[in-house]
Amino acid sequence: MRKIIKLLPIVLVAIVLTSCSSVKVAADYDKAVQFDNYKTFAFFKSGIDKAEISDLDKRRILRAIEAELMAKGYTKSENPDLLVSIFTKSNQRVNIYNNAWGMGAWGWGGGFGPGWGWGWNNQPNVTTSVQGMLFIDLIDADKKELVWQGQGTGYLSKNIDKKEARIKEFVSKIMEKYPPGMDN
């Protein structure tokens, strides 16, 4: 029974961490637009330049968007139907986990041998994580109007290989919502 009680906090933290690993997505669009009329795209440089992320991450995101649109049958063009823009937001989260239960914890009781103790040695665990939001905007090139916006929210990695995979996951999950009305 003691082993189960000792493992319970670890299991709970693992559940919380794994539930945070997915990308949550949402999309909004103009219902009056006929999305099947769009066949070509280009990147909206002035909009992309405003995104407050590194140029390396911008290129990673743009490559992933380009791959997704091309997989959907779109062609990159100098005279596009759609302009693609992005912007990002991020929040650093501080997670504090205190494994002391109640007033004390089972262990060494005040230096007098095993028994009930006050948990003085139980220091809280502090971790930080970065939660990022990626917005992908699709703009009608002729009207210069936003026609579709996808948003993804999730946790980011500082590891370069994991970051690249995570960016692809963000873009892929967001672009599953485009075009609207399909069985996404």
What's the average model confidence in pLDDT over 21-33? 92
As a whole number of angstroms, the distance between CA 134 and CA 53 comes to 11
Task: Give the pLDDT score at 19.
Answer: 45
Task: Answer whether CATH 3.30.160 is correct for domain 23-175.
Answer: yes
pLDDT digit string (tens) for 93-118? 777 777 655 555 555 445 555 555 55
Q: Is the pTM of this model over 0.85?
A: no
Q: Residue 183's beta-bridge partner residues?
A: none
DSSP at 111: T
Say yes or no to pLDDT of 46 above 60.
Answer: yes
Radius of gyration of the chain (CA): 24
Task: Give the pLDDT score at 4.
Answer: 52
Q: 3-class DSSP state for residue 73?
A: coil
Task: Give the pLDDT score at 17.
Answer: 43
**What are residue 61's phi and psi, to 5 degrees?**
-65, -45
Q: Residue 109's beta-bridge partner residues?
A: none
Say yes or no to pLDDT of 15 above 90.
Answer: no
Amino acid residing at 126: V
pLDDT digit string (tens) for 147-168? 999 999 998 888 888 889 999 9
Find, among 138, 174, 175, the residue nearest to 22 by Cα: 174
Name the token pair of 14: 């693992």
Higher pLDDT, 107 or 74: 74
